[in-house]
Amino acid sequence: MIKPKLFIPSPEKGTGVFGATYYCENDSLRMENLYNMASQSDAPNLAFVRYSDDNGRHWGEPKELEALVQLENGVKRIYHRGGYLDPATGRYITIRNEGVFSSEIFDADICMRSLQLYYKVSEDGGRSFIVDEPIIQKGVEFDSEHPLPGVWKGKNSVMLGDFSCRPVTLSDGTILVPCQISPVDSDGNYCNPGNGYTYHEATVLIGKWSADKKLEWELSETLRSNPKKSTRGLLEPTLGILKDGSIIMIMRGSNEIMLSRNPDKAVAISGLGGYKWYSISRNGGRTWDEAEPWGYDNGELFYSPSACSELLKHSNGKLYWIGNISPTPTVGNACRYPLLIGEVNISTGKLIKKSCQIIDNRKPGEPENMTLSNFCACEDRETGEIVLHMPRLGTKEIFLTADLLEYRFEAL
C-alpha cells in the first residue's frame, strides 16, 4: 500500500474534503486545484479553486466558488466537477452541474429532476474565461429548458457523476465528455425502474470547436441497462481510447434495492453480483455496444461495488484503470475497498489481472463502512508518477469527517 500525505485538511468534525488537480496549459507546469467541502452526502456546501505555477510545489490563495446559493424559494446547488485541458487547442475547459432544490437538505429525487450541465472555456490557463454557458445541443429545437435529446429541465437531469468522469480528445479534435442522464417515463417524468437509490443511463457529449471558440454539442446514443441486472442503471462513466482507435467506457452499476429512501437500508438482489460495466464504440462515441459486466483478460469477472472508477492514459503509452475490486460479492455501495490500479489491455479492453496492485485498503480496526472512493488521478508531467487525490471516509467518529489526501506512486 502507498502512504498518502495530507493535501487539504478537513476544517471541522463532520466535514469531508473532495478534490482534484489538473494541468491547465500545454507548455507549462501551471495547475488548478479544485476542491469541495461537504457535511452531508452528495451535497457540497463550499467550493474553492487555487492555482500553482510550479507543478504543485506551491499553491496560491484559494478563491471561494459558489456552491450553495440561497434563493427566495429554495437553494441553487453548484457541483464543480473539474477541468480538462484540450491538448489539441490548449484551451482549458471546466464543467459544472447546477440545479435548484427546495431546501438545503439534500434530496436525491429532486437531484434527478434538477441538475443540468454548464461549461467554461479559458485560453490563459484559467486566469480568465471567454465562454460560460449551459451545454445545449445545436439545433432550433433545443434551448435551456430542453437542452439535449431526452432531457427537460425540471423533469430529469444530465450531469457529470464525479471528478473521475474526465473528457478525452480524439485524433480529429473532437472532445467526448462522459455523462449520465436520469430517464423519463411515457409521461415525461423521471422514473426509477430498478428501485435503487437513483437510476441513470450513460451517454457521451460530443463537442466540436466552432469559429467563435465555443463547443457545439451533440449527444451520443444513450446506453441503457436492464434494471434487473443493474438496479441503478449505468452511471459515472469514464473513457479510454484503445489501440485501434475505438473507445471504451467503464461504468458504475449496482445490485441493491431500497427498503426505504435511506441509502443505508439497501439489500442486494439474490444471485445478482456487483460489477463494473463496459461498452465499446467504434465510431467516435456516437453509438455503443450493449453494456456487459467488465472483467479480467483471462475471462474472469470480478466484483466491484457501486462506486466511481477512472481510466487514465499515461505518457508511457499504457492505459490504466483505478477502482475498487472486492474479493466477495458486494451490496450496493459496499465495500469500497481495497482501491487498486491495473493496466488495461489496449487491444481487448480487458483488465490485465496480474498487473493489479493495491493503492490503499481498510486497516485493522477501521469501520467496515469506510470508503476509498471519490478520487481523481493524473500524471505528474515532471516525474511520470501517478498522483491521486482522495478522502479516506468513515475512518473517524463521524462518517463524513475526512481530509483530502495525496497519493504518489510510480506507473506500473
Q: Around 210, how many Cα atoms within 13 Å sit in the side-chain half-sphere?
A: 10
For the sheet with 235-241, list strands across it.
235-241, 247-252, 276-281, 292-293
Q: How do residues 89-121 score in pLDDT, each as one tens digit?
A: 999 999 999 999 999 989 999 999 999 999 999
For residues 392 and 360, the answer to whether their CB atoms sit within 8 Å is: yes
Judge whether residue 48 has pLDDT over 60: yes
Mean pLDDT of 364-390: 96
Judge whether residue 253 has pLDDT over 80: yes
For residues 269 and 256, the answer to whether their CB atoms sit within 8 Å is: yes
CA dihedral 183, 186, 192, 198 (to 10 degrees): 30
For residues 257 and 270, the answer to whether their CB atoms sit within 8 Å is: no
Quote the CA–CA distance of 119 and 139 in Å, as a whole number. 18
Mean pLDDT of 357-385: 96
Q: How do residues 12-29 score in pLDDT, each as one tens digit?
A: 999 999 999 999 999 999
Quote the CA–CA distance of 373 and 324 in Å, as a whole number. 8
Judge whether residue 250 has pLDDT over 70: yes
| Cell numbers that stand for 223 in this block | 446506453
Radius of gyration of the chain (CA): 20
Q: What is the pLDDT of residue 260?
A: 59
Q: Which of 177-191, 222-236, 257-271, 353-367 has the lowest mean pLDDT?
A: 257-271
| Other beta carbons less than 10 A from residue 12's beta carbon | 10
pLDDT band at 396 (very low <50, low <70, confident <90, very high): confident
* Residue recorded with cell 465528455: 177
Judge whether residue 181 has pLDDT over 60: yes
pLDDT band at 390 (very low <50, low <70, confident <90, very high): very high
For residues 236 and 262, the answer to whether their CB atoms sit within 8 Å is: no
Which residues are within 8 A (CB) of 359 and not within 5 positions of it... i.e. 6 or more apart?
A: 1, 2, 322, 338, 339, 340, 341, 372, 388, 407, 409
| Other beta carbons less than 10 A from residue 227's beta carbon | 17
Q: Mean pLDDT across the chain, nearest whole number?
A: 95
Judge whether residue 263 has pLDDT over 60: no
Percentage of the chain with pLDDT > 90?
A: 91
Judge whether residue 267 has pLDDT over 80: no
Quote the CA–CA distance of 341 and 42 in Å, as a whole number. 25
Which residues are within 8 A (CB) of 219 and not within 5 positions of it... i.e. 6 or more apart?
A: 137, 148, 149, 150, 203, 204, 205, 206
Helix H, strand E, coil C: the string for 90-148 is CCEEEEEEEEEECCCCCCHHHHHHHCEEEEEEECCCCCCCCEEEECCECCCCCECCECE
Q: How do residues 294-305 score in pLDDT, each as one tens digit?
A: 999 999 999 999
Domains of the chain and CATH, by start? 5-409 (2.120.10.10)
Q: How do residues 143-157 score in pLDDT, each as one tens digit?
A: 999 999 999 999 999
Sequence-ordered alpha helix ranges (H) in 159-230: none
* Residue recorded with cell 456487483: 274
Helix H, strand E, coil C: the string for 355-370 is HCEEEECCCCCCCCCC
pTM of the model: 0.96
Q: How many residues does the chain have?
A: 412
E-strand stretches of 259-366: 266-268, 276-281, 292-293, 310-313, 319-324, 339-344, 357-360
CA 140 to chain centre: 30
Which residues are within 8 A (CB) of 204 and not within 5 positions of it... i.e. 6 or more apart?
A: 176, 177, 178, 179, 219, 220, 237, 239, 249, 281, 285
Judge whether residue 210 has pLDDT over 90: yes
For residues 181 and 222, the answer to whether their CB atoms sit within 8 Å is: yes
| Cell numbers that stand for 323 in this block | 477502482
Judge whether residue 85 has pLDDT over 60: yes
Judge whether residue 246 has pLDDT over 70: yes
